[in-house]
Amino acid sequence: MPEEFDPVRLEILWSGLLSIVEEMSITLKRTAYSELVREANDFSCALFDREGNMLAQTDWIGTPGHLGSIPKIMESVFREFPVETLKPGDAVATNDPWLGSGHLPDLVLISPIFSDGEILAFAVNIAHHSDVGGRAAGGHIADSREIFEEGIRIPLHKIYRAGEPNEDTIKMITANVREPREYLGDIKAQLSANFVGERRLKEFMKDNQIEDLMPLARAIINTTEKATREAISQVADGTYGHEHEFDGPEPGSPVKIKVSIEVKGEQMKVDFTGSSPQTASGLNCPFNYTYAYAIHAVKGSLTPTLPFNAGALKPIDVYAPEGTIINVRFPAAVGARHLLSWHVNAAMMGALAKVIPDRVLAGSGGESNMPQFSGINPRTGRFFVHVAMHSGGLGARPDRDGIHCFAFPPRAENTPAEVTETEHPLRIERLELIQDSGGAGKFRGGCGIVVDYRVLTESPCTIVNPIDWIEYGPPGILGGKPGSTSKFILNPGPGETMLGKELVRVPPGSLIRCYLPGGGGYGNPLERDPNLVLEDVVNGIVSLEKAKTEYGVVIDPETMKVNREETEKLRKSLMGSG
Amino acid sequence: MVSEEGRYRLGFDIGGTFTDLVMADEATGEIRIVKVPSTPKNPNIGALQGLKRLLAESNVKAGQLTFAIHGTTVVTNTVIEQKGAKTALITTKGFRDVLEIGRERRVTQYDIFEERLPPLVPRHLRREVDERTAFNGEILKKLNREEVEALIRELAELGVESIAVCLIHSYSNPKHEKEIEEITGKSAPNIRVSLSSAVLPAWREYERTSTTVVNAYTRPKTEKYMEELTEGLRAEGFRARLFIMTAAGGIVPVETAAQFPVRILESGPAAGTLAASFIGELVGEDNLISFDMGGTTAKVALVERGQPRITTVFEVGGYRFKKGSGYPVEVPTIDLIEIGAGGGSIAHVEMGLLKVGPESAGADPGPACYGLGGTQPTVTDADLVLGYLNPDYFIGGEMKLQKELAVKAIEDHVAKPLGLSVIEAALGIHDVVNANMARAMRAVSIERGRDPRMLTLVAFGGAGPVHANRLAEQNKIRKLVIPLAAGVATAIGMLASDVKFDFVRTYVARIEEVNLDTARSLYEEMESEAVELLKAAGVTQMELVRSVDMRYVGQAYELNVQIPGGELSAGMVKTLEDSFVNLYEKTYGFTTGDPVETVNWRLLAVGKVPRVKVKRVKEKGKAEDALKGKRKAFFAEYGEYVECDVYDRYRLLPEAFIHGPAIVEERESTVVVCPKAKATVDEYLNLVITLEEE
């Protein structure tokens, strides 16, 4: 630690930087139009030093896919825009999946912060816009074959020059997205968040008599790097591998992520060699996004409470061969790239379970059944798009159950049914936990939910859904069972149609039913405390039958009490046979 | 002074450790204070004992009290300790799990062991009825009364004591919820019913359900508490009205509080903020920062033009102090930031850095220097080592502080691990906790468009006056007021509140499409209800304030704009739009030119309660007459311990003048006057500290 920062001053200054990014986030959330930003919190903010090292990022809000990608984005910014080409009031933006966070809806906005003609730092944020044009509204499309089908691609360029909007870009965007008013409103919101970052950083430096941010930046980064290295050094040296298989683009064509984690002293290497080749669908992701979730998994297991900045990245190398599903080549489609977030996590956890079984969790459902409705709203005569975001169950942990419907590993929130119904021609008819959906285990996976949507348009409504876990449920870990699978059904009941990843147009009045998966279980279900099984049965989370067949717990349906004797007998016989 | 006329006002605040009682003589403005230990098992016992003592000491009869105001933590504690009633929830078919799913929120970025708070109503007691209302209030499926009757019978058999009813879109049409209440009243009159359309008639079903459930869950216990308190007071001869402090800084009759306990969550901190605005009124300042630092947390709030800011975003409990992880309760609440920074906050080392809080040693074992078995170093330990606190005069000497234990705790847990001296470590703890609080102060002022240099800091709470001077310096605040009896200011705040009821109706409409008849009928409804309640509360002087939450179409967050008085008209609506745009620009620094819409139409009904006129002290005095000794205290400016004058707060009279560095001691608190600061005493015995401009 450099001499000028004692442990007291460094703590005070560091917390000061964190509060700046927090304030940037509040501004963005409160002024955004995109439903995904204002309701679902699908955005992130960060501060970088002038050399492009991440110093501070939001914690209470934000999503790992953004926050882990931003450090890579800065490398591109420096390549395209050497510092001498940047001026005060400039803002650089792109939604290029290969430069940014992996798909077109995410627009990253980078504002250099100047003081006396010199760059001090960068304020950066990423926000998920509701629509970016393309074949279907919403941007998450699983069945395109090329990126060109998915919407407008905005190259890395100055969207603001010396404080003035780049009118050519604005016109180009206006001509190519379905709701330009929202899109442009959100750019303003992003810009104002960076303004807040700039204003606050300058005040912070003045108040604390800091002229050069770099010594502080180095102190923060070195401290974090040292702590991260210490945490890695406590993991036994060795190479730990895992293969995770999951739904491919078409039914019956599974794909896999293969990972090998090498721990050597204070260093960790994550190698995805052997993973499936890229697909001819949107089920692909650019490397930045893979990198983000590989780091997220390691950090979640080793240093969950430490702050995240450039120092946390240094001791970890991540490699994925080009042309694989997790390091896809241009111009592949990437509209379902977020599916890879939970698959990267599941693969990483499978490998880490071999060396730190007390710090991993089972597979999680994630936002894996997310229909996006679009068409004309008969109440306004205008175009509407609604991205119906819900999460499946969280995987179980070494000492506790998974949480029902919990946003992991991407972080997002649902939109209240009352907001959805007021703004869009849709009615939510059901939103309910699914019995027996959480994977059985010593600790149970969180449950998924079933959601019913009634379409109230007067003309056909377009739906795309980058659905996942139809064939494979989120995997259990260390003896736990997988969570339930997903379903996406048009007009459930006799004559129902099972839908998949393809774009569909449905008539007014249709009922759409989505089953979101449960999380995987942790450990052997026969070791679960029978009282916990009973509690789940009383609450309808687990059925009497599954209590018996999965957990070996016999409950008297009349008295609703555990029959200890029968339970012991049954468990013995199940253990013998299993 | 014996007098039979009714002219005394009582305020009492029951906290976790102490119960504070304040009585004001309406004729003379004299104030009397009593502090007694709380009796957590039955808080009324302590309060009534305190009252007896207060009355005896001032020779006043209970029958002479005209007005009593009470603040309590009973509701908050019931939720946090999960000790509420057996509660059921009735929802629209398909929505019983909304309470458990919430917003599906994750509050940490990387913590795979994160926990969600358990729902206050377990799943088997969450029941559905087959009914449906649309967003615009249209009934799509009628409620089946027989279904409800059967359900209520079943819940009664299960021993349910309280029911929360939250039907989809009930804020736009409460018909079905009201029917359920009526049916329950007939078939199970002992079960309490809380309707979401009455508790919080605003959209977003999870937040509304959660608020209603917290209300239902705490209601039977709160009712019982209120009944016992009323009876206890009556047994003492008390005949006047009892009011309860609300989170929004108003007071409501005890019956309203019993019916809507969510309204009186956090009534203590609210009263603290009111105390600050009351003191501000005395010293002629109406733009203030209220700063209350106790044992566990510090609370900071902004007071503008004499009024605390109000917010409707509030939560109870949570996961590791993470924002957004508690039970949402969206009722009007004083907008304050509460952070884990108090005298008991624990200092520890993480990644080679010094951190303070949010974990607290609480009252038991408390700071190491209490000698009650605590070994972790706390803020109080650091303040003692730095010489700010007097080991022989803590709570007026009732508790002896042991400096050697403080030194050892700081040495073992902070100084050695960081390679610092004990003094450096103690100063570090003091500085880090100050920095945390300075950020909160900044958040309530600068981030809300207020320049702290134009604000006056009012500091109270046991630890507030120890830290306030440094905080003022850090935020460039120039004037700092520390009231007498800073340790019981919260109870004083209760004497400075008005009767307040607030109402809200959601009516989403573009500003140019607002149907004036609809808006008028919303207000007719709310205003007739309000007048009735105010009359019932015995209020004669009323004020009705209308406001509306507005936003740009397509955004999700609203700003509250006051509606000018008089009849609602088209012209007035246009004014609203302008006010909104101005406020938006002031708040966020830009505007969008997009269409604007209304969301929540609000009414605040205020019944004015005449203020107590605090007695002015005519006598004048000199500081040296109050000098009680000298003590060595450490100040960073000098880099060493320096000899400081120590004054007795109770002997300081108006016009006394003190130069920093100095220390002023009173029973419940200690004021640290930093080097370069000047302090004087005003005619209300407030200590007013002025800081030099840089």
pLDDT of residue B473: 92
A411 reaches B (C-beta below 8 A): yes
Cα–Cα dist A326/A284, whole Å: 6
pLDDT band at residue B4 under the 50/70/90 scheme: low
State whether B351 and A227 contact (CB < 8 Å): yes
pLDDT band at residue B316 under the 50/70/90 scheme: confident
Q: Where are the beta strands (DSSP E) in A190-283?
A: 238-246, 255-264, 267-271
Comparing A135 with B593, which gets the higher pLDDT?
A: A135
Q: Out of B93, B168, B428, whose CB is closest to A418?
A: B168
Tokens 């490699």 belong to: A319
With contacts defined as CB-CB under 8 Å, which chain A residues touch B101? 404-405, 414, 431, 433, 449
- Stated pTM of the model: 0.91
With contacts defined as CB-CB under 8 Å, which chain A residues touch B100? 404, 433
What is the torsional sign of CA B46, B52, B56, B60? Answer: positive
State whether A15 and B436 contact (CB < 8 Å): yes
pLDDT of residue B449: 67
Question: Hey, what are A284's tokens?
Answer: 């692909």
Cα–Cα dist B523/B588, whole Å: 30
Pairing of strands B192-195, B307-308: unpaired
B446-474 pLDDT, tens digit each: 766 677 888 999 999 889 999 999 999 98
Cα–Cα dist B137/A454, whole Å: 18
Q: Work out the minimum CA distance from A330 to partner chain B, whole angstroms.
A: 30
Contact A58, A46 (CB under 8 A): yes
State whether A7 and B428 contact (CB < 8 Å): yes
A473-511 pLDDT, tens digit each: 999 999 999 999 999 999 999 999 999 999 999 999 999
B193-236 pLDDT, tens digit each: 999 999 988 889 999 999 999 999 999 999 999 999 999 999 99
With contacts defined as CB-CB under 8 Å, which chain A residues touch B108? 59, 304
Cα–Cα dist B163/B651, whole Å: 56
pLDDT band at residue B534 under the 50/70/90 scheme: confident
State whether B105 and A67 contact (CB < 8 Å): no
Q: Work out the minimum CA distance from B606 to partner chain A, whole angstroms.
A: 30
pLDDT of residue B1: 41
pLDDT of residue A338: 95
What residues are paired with A91 via a beta bridge? A160
**Nearest in space to A453 (alpha carbons), one of A398, A491, A486, A487:** A491
Phi, psi of B23, deg, nearest 5: -125, 135
Q: Count of H helices and E strands in chain A? A: 14, 22
pLDDT of residue A1: 42
Pairing of strands B87-92, B126-129: parallel
Cα–Cα dist B667/B486, whole Å: 9
Tell which of A3, A5, A8, A427 to mutate to test the B interface (max B CBs under 10 Å).
A8
Q: Work out the minimum CA distance from A499 to partner chain B, whole angstroms.
A: 22
Cα–Cα dist A123/A450, whole Å: 40
Q: By CA distance, what is B444's nearest residue in A?
A: A23
State whether A223 and B353 contact (CB < 8 Å): yes
**Nearest in space to B470 (alpha carbons), one of A514, A12, A378, A407:** A12
Domains of chain B, CATH where assigned: 1-72 (3.30.420.40), 80-223 (3.40.1360), 502-603 (3.30.1490), 623-690 (no CATH)
Angular region, A209: left φ>0, alpha ψ -120 to 50, beta rest: left
3-state secondary structure of A46: strand
Q: Exposed (0-12), middle (13-18) or buried (19+): which is A565, by Cβ within 10 Å? A: exposed
A435 reaches B (C-beta below 8 A): no
Q: What share of chain B is helix, strand, coil (3-state, %, to 5)?
A: 35, 30, 35
Q: Percent of chain B beyond pLDDT 70?
A: 97
Q: Percent of chain B beyond pLDDT 90?
A: 58
**Nearest in space to B687 (alpha carbons), one of B497, B472, B474:** B472
Element (H, E) at B76: helix B74-80
Report chain A's C-alpha Rg in angstroms. Answer: 24
**Does the pLDDT at position B2 exceed 60?**
no
B141-150 pLDDT, tens digit each: 999 999 999 9
State whether A38 and B169 contact (CB < 8 Å): no
- Residue B41's contacts (CB-CB under 8 Å, 6 or more residues apart) are none
Phi, psi of A522, deg, nearest 5: -120, 125
pLDDT of residue B3: 46
CA dist B250 to A288, B247, B299, B310, B338, Å? 53, 7, 18, 11, 20
A374 reaches B (C-beta below 8 A): no
Q: Work out the minimum CA distance from B470 to partner chain A, whole angstroms.
A: 14
State whether B94 and A428 contact (CB < 8 Å): yes
B90-123 pLDDT, tens digit each: 999 999 999 999 999 999 889 999 999 999 999 9
What is the torsional sign of CA A208, A210, A213, A219? Answer: negative
With contacts defined as CB-CB under 8 Å, which chain A residues touch B428? 6-8
Q: By CA distance, what is A231's nearest residue in B?
A: B351
Q: By CA distance, what is A68's nearest residue in B?
A: B109
Q: Out of B103, B353, B439, whose CB is closest to A16?
A: B439
Mean pLDDT of chain B: 90
Q: Give residues 445 to 484 of A whose Cβ lies within 8 Å of B.
A: 449, 452
Per-residue pLDDT of chain A (578 residues; tens, 9 = 90+): 444 688 899 988 998 999 899 889 988 988 888 878 887 888 999 999 999 999 999 887 788 888 888 888 898 999 999 989 999 999 999 999 999 999 999 999 999 999 999 999 999 999 999 889 998 887 888 999 999 999 999 999 999 999 999 999 999 999 999 889 889 989 999 999 999 999 999 989 998 899 999 999 999 999 999 999 999 999 999 999 999 999 999 999 999 999 999 999 999 999 999 999 999 999 999 999 999 999 999 999 999 888 889 999 999 999 999 999 999 999 999 999 999 999 999 999 999 999 999 999 999 999 999 999 999 999 989 889 999 999 999 999 999 999 999 999 998 899 999 999 998 999 999 999 999 999 999 999 999 999 999 999 999 999 999 999 999 999 999 999 999 999 999 999 999 999 999 999 999 999 999 999 999 999 999 999 999 999 999 999 999 999 999 999 999 999 999 999 999 999 999 988 65
pLDDT of residue B694: 57
Q: In what order do the strands lie in the sheet with A511-515?
A: A426-433, A449-455, A511-515, A487-490, A497-498
Q: What share of chain A is helix, strand, coil (3-state, %, to 5)?
A: 30, 20, 45
Cα–Cα dist B17/B161, whole Å: 30
Mean pLDDT of B508-512: 87
Q: In what order do the strands lie in the sheet with B627-635?
A: B627-635, B640-648, B662-665, B670-673
Question: Hey, what are A22's tokens?
Answer: 């927090």
With contacts defined as CB-CB under 8 Å, which chain A residues touch B353? 7, 10-11, 14, 223
State whether A11 and B554 contact (CB < 8 Å): no
Q: Out of B94, B134, B427, whose CB is closest to A431?
A: B94
- Residue B224's contacts (CB-CB under 8 Å, 6 or more residues apart) are none
State whether B124 and A408 contact (CB < 8 Å): no
Q: Work out the minimum CA distance from A128 to partner chain B, whole angstroms.
A: 14
**Nearest in space to B430 (alpha carbons), one of B343, B321, B359, B337:** B343
Q: Give residues 311 to 370 of A whose Cβ lies within 8 Å of B.
A: 359-361
State whether B447 and A38 contact (CB < 8 Å): no
Lowest pLDDT segment from A205-214, A278-287, B490-499, B675-684: B490-499
Q: Out of A35, A304, A421, whose CB is closest to B110?
A: A304
State whether B101 and A14 contact (CB < 8 Å): no
Mean pLDDT of B481-507: 82
Contact A553, A562 (CB under 8 A): yes
Tell which of B353, B431, B447 to mutate to test the A interface (max A CBs under 10 Å).
B353
A32 reaches B (C-beta below 8 A): yes
Cα–Cα dist A490/B360, whole Å: 54
DSSP type of residue B397: G
